[in-house]
Amino acid sequence: MSFIEVEFLFFLPIVWMVHWLLPRRIGAQNAALLASSYLFFAAWHWKVLGLVIAGTIVDYLVGSYLGRTTGSKESATSRRIALATSLLFGLGALAFFKYEGFFASSINALLMSLGFSSSLPVLKLALPLGISFYTLQRVGYVLDVYWGRHPPARTFLDFAVFTSFFPQVTAGPISRASELLSQLQRPRHLTADLLARGAAAFLMGYVLKGWAGDSIGNDLVNPVFDRSTEFGVLAHWAGVGGYALQVFGDFAGYSLMAIGVGRLFGIELPVNFNFPFLSRSLPEFWRRWHITLNRWLFDYIFTPLTTSRGWFRGRIDTALLVTFLASGLWHGANWTFVLWGALHGLGMIVHRNWDEIYRGWCRRNRAWVQRRKSWWYAAFAWLVTIGFFVLTLVPFRSSNIGAATDFAARMFSSPGDALPPIGINVMLAVLVMIGYHLLETKHFAWCRERYFALPPFVRGLTYGAVIVFLMIKTPVASGTFIYQQF
């Protein structure tokens, strides 16, 4: 069940009313949220609940133990064993369901190429709903408790809701314990502001995901990628550019909807996308795109690597590469994602070294500082950043490395000559995406201010118009949700 499916039209109003009709006590509210969340999992398949509940019990017990033994030197070994147990269970389940087939087939292929016979079983397992997201959230919690950054959950109920809160299980945002668990440990109250901001976020998310992203995907991206040989060079560039917008609409839209639903239950989830196409450097891009995953990767992979006493200490470039390889692998069990991660790791390394060089120039001559503030530097930096991101989406969207290579080659010379399939719907969707970003810039701040200064009834009319448009243009449960597959 995703937020754009018809089930959700029935599910949300019912669980929302039940939640707010119950006494405003932590226990009652969290019990309602847990029941709703488990129902949400069960709708995918009730068998997945066993995995969710087992992982929750393990991490709750480990967290409680780690919390009790914080600062106790004699228990260091047992604390490490407890931590290892939790990580093995959580990451082991993720590895088994998500990567077993990938690693088994890769090892088989490698051994075959070396002349050995190998037939490791390649299991084609369905990826349990949300496992990539809730696993990282739990691992983050256990590590935070282990390092003493956050106290353990007070009750099993609080922790169970923290790891299964239904708005975020499908595709994040991935919350830190300090963000979500702390909210779950106090009673929530529905305020007009939360309701209004929740509904607005949900509607904006629906526009981005339910209409804009899916329109660009169905009308432009899928035809170009699926029948690449029929299209000319221009269509290939338009296709991959469109894919960047599709993925953004799909994921940023869904994240916004999750945030909106969270607010309806009195819970503020972390922002996951902050207008990434305004970025002028790769590090800035990754601070704006899938924010909660990237900060997780930097909190729990990059920082421990570079600050530990091991080999990685001080080797920032290598740690960057490892971090982005992990990001690629997280996105999918396929060499195309590994390549995508490697390209971004290398991009980050190049940027870091370029930044070092540029700072050296700035220290020698202040004119370089002014150049960096010029509009043309900003434009060039934006073009390089967004251009690099868009180009790396070729392997990201392709089914295998060979297909990615073929597609990339056709971006410069293609046997086909068909023009990009850009109709009025795609053009409108692209304009909405551009407008969504531009409104965030200071140049268009006046638009936002004037809009929000309108009388509430008039603003309501505009929301109504958007809903009418969505009802005319989008079927219930249109398209697929890209990030649910990760």
Partner 1 sequence: MEESSTWKSVFLCAAGALALLVLADVLLARVAPTQPLRELRDGISDFRAGDPEILVLGSSHGRTFHVLGQELSRRRGAPGLLVSIPLENGKLVPYEWVLKNRLLPLITATGTNGERMRGNLRRLILITEWWDSCSFTGPGRPYWNLPGRAWAFEHYVNDVIDTGVDSYNKNYLDHLYRRLFRRSVLVQSRGTSRIASSVERMIAGQATLRTPEEEASYLAAWRKMVEAGEECIGAPEQIVALRRILTTSLSLGLDTTVVLFPRKPATITATAAAGTIEQFHHLASGVATEMGVRFIDLTLGTPLDDSDFMDDYDHVNAKGNRKFAEWALDNDLSFLLEPPANTP
**For residue 335, what are its two tokens?**
């060499």
3-state secondary structure 185-222: CCCCCCCHHHHHHHHHHHHHHHHHHHHHHHHHHHHHHH
Q: What residues does 418 pair with on adjacent strands? A: 231
Nearest approach, Cβ of residue 476 and partner 1 (Å): 6
Instruction: Return the number of the residue (147 or 463) whose C-beta is nearest partner 1.
Output: 463
Check if the beta carbon of residue 156 is closer than 8 Å to that of residue 60.
yes
Of 168, 167, 143, 133, give the one whose Cα is nearest residue 70: 143
Kindly give the residue spans of alpha helices, DSSP state H, lying in 334-454. Answer: 335-364, 367-373, 375-397, 401-410, 424-438, 445-452
Cross-strand pairs, 231:
418
CB 357 → partner 1: shortest distance, Å?
A: 41
Closest CB to partner 1 among residues 114, 424: 424
Please pick, among 331, 344, 351, 443, the residue that the annotation labels catalytic. 331
The distance of closest approach from Cβ of residue 395 to partner 1 in the complex, given in angstroms and rounded to an integer, is 27
Closer by beta carbon to partner 1, 96 or else 463? 463
Q: How far is the CB of 443 from partner 1 (least distance, A)?
A: 17
Residue 6's H or E segment, with its range, is helix 6-21
Contact residues for partner 1 (CB under 8 A)?
A: 1, 5-7, 9-10, 42-46, 192-193, 195-197, 200, 448-449, 452, 455-461, 463-465, 467-468, 471-478
Vertex 170: Cα angle to 324 and 225 (nearest 5): 60
We find the least distance from the C-beta atom of residue 290 to partner 1, in angstroms, to be 25
Residue 106: strand pairing partners: none
DSSP per-residue codes, 430-450: HHHHHHHHHTTSGGGHHHHHH
The torsion of the CA quartet 468, 469, 475, 477, rounded to 10 degrees, works out to: -90
Q: Are 208 and 249 in contact (CB under 8 A)?
A: yes
Q: Quick one: 54 or 465, whose CB is closer to partner 1?
A: 465
d(CA 347, CA 309): 26
- Minimum CB separation from partner 1 for residue 338, in Å? 29
CA distance 167 to 37: 8
Q: Is 19 a catalytic residue?
A: no
In the complex with partner 1, the residue whose CB is nearer, 412 or 452, is 452
* Residues annotated as catalytic (active site), given as ranges: 331
